[in-house]
Structure 1
Amino acid sequence: MAATPFPAGSCDCHVHIYGPFARFPGQSEGRFTPGEEFPVERLFAMWEAIGIARGVIVHALGAGPDNAVTLAALRRFPDKLRAIAIVSRDVTDARLDELTDAGFKGVRINLLRQDGKPVSSGGMDLDDLKALAPRLAERGWHAQLWIETGDLEELAPELEKLPLDFVIDHQGRTMTDKGVTYKGFQWFCERLKTGRYWCKLSGADRNTRQGTPYADTEGFMQALVSANPDRLVWGTDWPHVGHTPATLPAHAVLVDLFERCVPDAAIRRKILVDNPARLYGF
């Protein structure tokens, strides 16, 4: 556990829940399919252990269809939770309104490639986003993009025609061996200043080439904080699906990494409390 506690009202902006499977059957998501249940009660126990008050569930394909498990959690804990959905382009207005009323704030779009190959198949793609964008904008939703910064730079002219803001997962999912000076990452740091983009300070365990304690990711987080701390939020990515027991990140290590990279208490509070309140409507 890090020495410095999180401030009151801190928010974990990237988690997933799964099950109980008897009520919410999961489905295959390749290597990102969990091998056990991770219901909302286990999430809350983790948050209590590290000092988190509230957070954002990103509905995962492996959690089952139609956002059911996530919607049920939001209805039980409306003051504590917000969520990101996966929907089809033919979703009805009534369903979008229902999700909005429950606390859903956006959709997750899968555009992630590494070395030119998709990392995970399924979910929503760019065509889905284009089809839905006007209806999402009417409801104040944003697009959460699972994408590498070089690919984001290429797609930005097309994306920015849409009437939406964009939240970028896992520090732009740039593998650390590309370096902080990597063109796509530097472009994104500049774009973060425009007001159209947000970024999640998360995923160090996925972007690292060295492993724990993820020292090779520090320069990336520091660069994002320097670029625009008003557009950053933080997340654990619990329960870390896709990891092996040997690579599963310890939360104390993730917290320590954040505090090393963001030593200023006022900026930490902004990222942990104030920015999530604005972005997700807490």
Structure 2
Amino acid sequence: MPHPKSATAWPPSCAAPRETIQAPSFVLPTGACDTHAHVICADFERYPLVPERSYTPPPAPEALYLDMLRATGMQRGVLVQPSVYGTDNRYMLEVLQRHHDRLRGVAVVDERIGDDELAHMHALGVRGVRINVLFRGGVNLDLMERLAHRVADLGWHLQFLIDVRLLSELQARIARLPCPVVIDHFGHFPARLGVKEPGFELLLRNVAEHGWWVKLSGAYRLSERHPDYADTDALAHALLGVAPERMVWGSDWPHVALESTPDTGSLLDRLYSWAPDERQRQSILVDNPAVLYDFK
């Protein structure tokens, strides 16, 4: 189906993922998991994008996603519902259903969702709900307490896409939630601000004291050091120094909302700099995702 037309009335289009992916320079452990990627169907009529979105993505369908997993050596993956679909999780759920043994999902829902629908999502492999305060189309912070109580009995978590420079205003609410908490993309703030940035220090404290999880993902969104992203090393080392058992890695494929996309394989190579020890990479890529996303 045709891509939604580009015009001034439409949110800006973003670049497609690269056609070729550099193979990682190290051998991934068996069961390695990419915990953060999105799928976007090419049929924009069957799966329409919400008008209030922040960007207009190119197709990134199931087949290309599976190709990316193969190219990077990943055997498992976690799909995160992109904001451009709002609470219409249909395409992600269909992909999960076809690959239930190796994929899990993080959905976007609101307070209107029924218990039967939550149970159906759980059966298909959904293990979390995303709260998004950075891109239009997602579900915002107003619903966090209600959603947390809805999903806690399922063993799900709440995943937050938030700039941690805002964390001081929210951490008391988040810390009281009755379910696990996952923070996207290192806390999504400029890496040049460093580990002494007050929001990042607060993130570290909550990881240590309240058991929060963090995705070592989206380094290219924080970095001013392209294409190696070396200015994110200090952030990764600080997080791994606090709780290596609650760190997971994600590609953030297909790298939406950008005019130029990074090489997914080179992002994975950065992990080797953060975790040069093979046992630590085993935890980040295999053991920790198995716990968080209930891989058997």
Normalized against structure 2, the TM-score is what? 0.87
SS of 1:276's equivalent? Answer: helix
Residue aligning to 1:109: 131
Residue aligning to 1:277: 290
Cα distance per residue 1:160-217 (max 9 Å; x no partner): 2221110000011121121221111122123212353000000111011233211111
Residue aligning to 2:159: 144
- Is 1:94 aligned with 2:109? no
Normalized against structure 1, the TM-score is what? 0.91
Matches for 1:24-173 after TM superposition, within 5 Å: 24-28=47-51, 30-34=53-57, 36-63=58-85, 65-112=87-134, 120-173=135-188
Q: Is the 8 A contact 1:19 1:63 kept in 2?
A: no
| More displaced 10-residue stretch of structure 1: 230-239 or 90-99 | 90-99
Q: 1:133 to 1:31 in 2, by over 3 A?
A: closer
Matches for 1:196-207 after TM superposition, within 5 Å: 196-207=211-222
Q: Is the 8 A contact 2:85 2:137 kept in 1?
A: no
One-letter code aligned to 1:88: D
How many residues are aligned here?
272
Q: Is the 8 A contact 1:19 1:26 kept in 2?
A: no
> Alpha carbon RMSD of aligned pairs, Å?
1.6
| More displaced 10-residue stretch of structure 1: 21-30 or 163-172 | 21-30
| More displaced 10-residue stretch of structure 1: 25-34 or 90-99 | 25-34
Q: Compute the displacement of 1:222 (Å).
A: 1.4
Matches for 1:203-242 after TM superposition, within 5 Å: 203-242=218-257
Residue aligning to 1:11: 33
Q: Which residues of structure 2 form unaligned runs of 5+?
A: 1-22
One-letter code aligned to 1:25: P
Q: Structure 1 CA distance, aligned partners of 2:111 and 2:208?
A: 31
- Is 1:186 aligned with 2:233? no
Residue aligning to 2:4: none
- Is 1:250 aligned with 2:273? no
Q: 1:148 to 1:64 in 2, by over 3 A?
A: closer
Q: Compute the displacement of 1:219 (Å).
A: 1.0
Residue aligning to 2:16: none
Q: Structure 1 CA distance, aligned partners of 2:132 and 2:67?
A: 29
Q: 1:161 to 1:31 in 2, by over 3 A?
A: closer
Q: Structure 1 CA distance, aligned partners of 2:75 and 2:197?
A: 35
Residue aligning to 1:117: none
One-letter code aligned to 1:97: A
Q: 1:29 to 1:252 in 2, by over 3 A?
A: farther
| More displaced 10-residue stretch of structure 1: 251-260 or 9-18 | 251-260
Cα distance per residue 1:49-95 (max 9 Å; x no partner): 11000110000132465200011011111011100111121111111
| More displaced 10-residue stretch of structure 1: 128-137 or 81-90 | 128-137
Identity of aligned residues (%): 39
